[in-house]
A and B are shown apart, each in its own frame.
Chain A
Amino acid sequence: MRTSLLRIQAIVIKELLQLRRDKMTFGMVIMIPLVQLLLFAFAINTNIRDIPVGVVDHSQTALSRVLQQTVSATGIVTFTHHYHSTKQAQAAIDRSEVRAVLIIPQDVSQRLVRHPSVGFGLPPSSKEETSRPIAQWLVDGSDTVIAGGIKSLRNMPLVELLDKPANRNTPTFEVTLIYNPEQRSVVNIVPGLVAVILTMTMIMFTSTAIVREQERGNMEMLIITPMAPLELMVGKIIPYIFIGAIQVTIILGLGYWLFNVPFNGGLGQLVLATFLFICASLVLGLVISTIAKSQLQSMQMTVFVLLPSILLSGFMFPYEGMPLPAQYIAEALPATHFIRLIRGVILRDVAVIEMSFDMLWLISFSCLGLIVAAMRFKKTLD
């Protein structure tokens, strides 16, 4: 037991010394979370704003211009181009000049006054008039998020166009937002980013750990020593747990100071959740390392794990909205469980123990992975 601990300690010290001299890796420890957080937190924005759109104004009246202003006042779109014909407009969409075009018909004023939502109800609007919209949107529907944004304009109130008091519909439901009432996406993204960045760096560091020894020719020396595979695995993981802790501190610290992400949960819960996830990711990396034949292969496998961790884990899209097979894949990824845990802890002040399924899953994943990695690691050159 004493010799076993001594050997683990020897590997930990060796890894730290090597890491200290490897300026590139050491730089990545700091720079990856820093740069990625700044990039993602600013860039990933699910609120749609200022989509460039064009307009074909067949009417050319004061009313049609006011209509355009009202639409652009919503902030969702910005009119950047004017076209003379529908054909021209469609060509503009084809070459991605604009994402959508508003086509205002010649008789827009008539349509407007007869439109039931405006409510000049006399004489009552005929059925035909009711089904005649005021204007038409031509939308490039390939990006569903943008299309959805423009679709939301369908029922925009137009009464202020005619200086009439608003006759808002009474909502069917009342919606109370308990968490993130301002609906800032960054609040949801920063905790998720912890998962993505840790998945990337943790798996990457350990996935090269064993292969690197092989590539540099150290393995032949290592396996002739009395070191047990499990000792090697544990020794390889421990230094990176600290590295992971540093990265989490950077991400959450920046999230708090720069993006005002609220911290509702306890620090202890946060440490527990991240510790479990760091272990699971490191172990996954080790398993990769025992499979890969070269450092390049291990990198490729890391990417193979990384992409689903970003796309399926609930970081980008709600887990519940995914089809069942995708949900099964997501369940297999440590990132999915961690994203649930950390969002729970940070945003909703849930104790990790209350989400025992995810917690137990991460623990069993780590233990199982460690055993698999140690078993796959052979002490012969066969």
Chain B
Amino acid sequence: MSAAYVTNCSNNFAINAEKLTRNFGQLSAVSELDLQVEKQTIYGFLGPNGSGKTTAIRLLTGLLKATSGEVNVLGCQLPRESNKLRLQIGYMTQKFSLYDDLTVTENLQFISKIYGLTPNQQKARLSELLSIHQLTKQGKQLAGSMSGGQKQRLALAAAVIHKPKLLFLDEPTSAVDPQNRREFWEQLFDLCDQGTTILVSTHYMDEAERCHKLAILENGIKRADDSPQALMANMAAQVVEIAASDLRQIKNSLIKLPQVISAAQLGTHLRVLVKKDVHQPIALLQQQPCINPTDQLNIVRPSLEDVFVSCTGRGGTL
């Protein structure tokens, strides 16, 4: 890949990676990852634990050096220009990485000084951030004594204190209740609206569905990437929902069929993924001895979880 090509791409893409690979000894944490993230979008990494999400983010922030491959982030070639990049990106780590023994204000003051804000800028920015992230009352509270949701809001405030063009969020909502998660995503869309590009990793399906675009990762390999809607529309499987009495037993028999990718119970229903090349999935399933004629079988709209399962060949939930 020529340098001119990279420069061209950087005009449209906040992140442009080609064949990005990182090995830890024998293990390949990220292998041959191609990635294009458009500016001012929210891009998601969806994958189970150990799928290489964190490593990929660390490679893109310059925290780790790639074993091979090309990365261009905001026009900076990594790892050569990682120092130049640091002022333009924000990073919210998976684990809370601010100081537990400093108060909210002290933490933010520390970060703002590190990023070189003048005292006047700092004062204005801090009160702005505290009110946006509903932390005004917690200003004098020690960060370590706050709830998961408050910590997460503080971490986001600290990550955007210098108004980065590109924001990395590594499983930002794993310790947060659904209500807080909703509000958190509202903040992300606000930031995106103001021109920030956001890359977020998650293992929650509902969260992944909010992203403009999505990459599904498994064992360091990108299995699919597109918008959530396109992923669901182009899925390589059909979803049949079965309502019956003895779902556990039906599941165990159906899973043995070569045409069935997976079967998972959702309450009173069994969700069966059948390969796309089967023309009459309902008919195929009804022929099975374990299905009673009275059982109800319907083709339903696929969910993101179905996409994930059909892409990765994993059964069940994450």
Contact = CB atoms under 8 A, between A and B. Distances in A.
B93 interface: yes
A6 B116 contact: yes
Given A14-B99, A14-B106, A18-B102, A224 B114 contact: no
Contacts of B89: 224
B64 A224 contact: no
A22 B99 CA distance: 13
Contacts of A220: 63, 91, 93, 95, 97
Contact of B58 (A14, A226, A379, A381): A381
Interface of B: 58, 61-65, 79, 82-83, 86-87, 89, 91, 93, 95-102, 106, 109-111, 113-116, 142, 158
A7 B101 contact: no
Contacts of A2: 116
Nearest to B112: A10
Contact of B87 (A14, A18, A223, A226): A226
B113 A7 contact: yes
Interface string A1-24: 011001101100110011001100
Contact of B99 (A6, A18, A226, A380): A18
A220 B159 CA distance: 12
Nearest to A231: B114
Interface string A356-382: 000000000000000000000001111
Contacts of A30: none
16 contacts: A3-B116, A6-B113, A7-B113, A13-B109, A14-B99, A17-B101, A219-B97, A220-B91, A220-B97, A221-B98, A221-B158, A223-B63, A226-B115, A379-B83, A380-B62, A382-B65
Nearest to B84: A226
Nearest to A232: B114
Contact of B95 (A14, A21, A217, A227): A217
Given A224-B89, A224-B91, A226-B87, A10 B113 contact: yes
A19 to B, nearest CB: 10
Given A220-B97, A225-B86, A7 B64 contact: no
B111 A225 contact: yes
A9 B100 CA distance: 20
Contact of B101 (A22, A225, A381, A382): A22
B97 A226 contact: no
B101 A18 contact: yes
A225 B63 CA distance: 11
Given A225-B114, A380-B65, A381-B63, A14 B102 contact: yes
Given A218-B98, A220-B93, A380-B79, 8 more contacts: A10-B110, A10-B114, A13-B109, A21-B101, A22-B101, A217-B93, A223-B63, A226-B87
A95 interface: no
Contacts of B142: 21
A216 interface: yes
Contacts of B87: 226
B114 A216 contact: no
Contacts of B79: 380
A379 B58 CA distance: 12
B106 A17 contact: yes
A220 B158 CA distance: 13
Given A225-B111, A225-B114, A218 B86 contact: no
A112 B207 CA distance: 104
Nearest to B119: A6
A17 B113 contact: no
Contacts of A6: 113, 116
A225 B116 CA distance: 10
A221 B110 contact: no
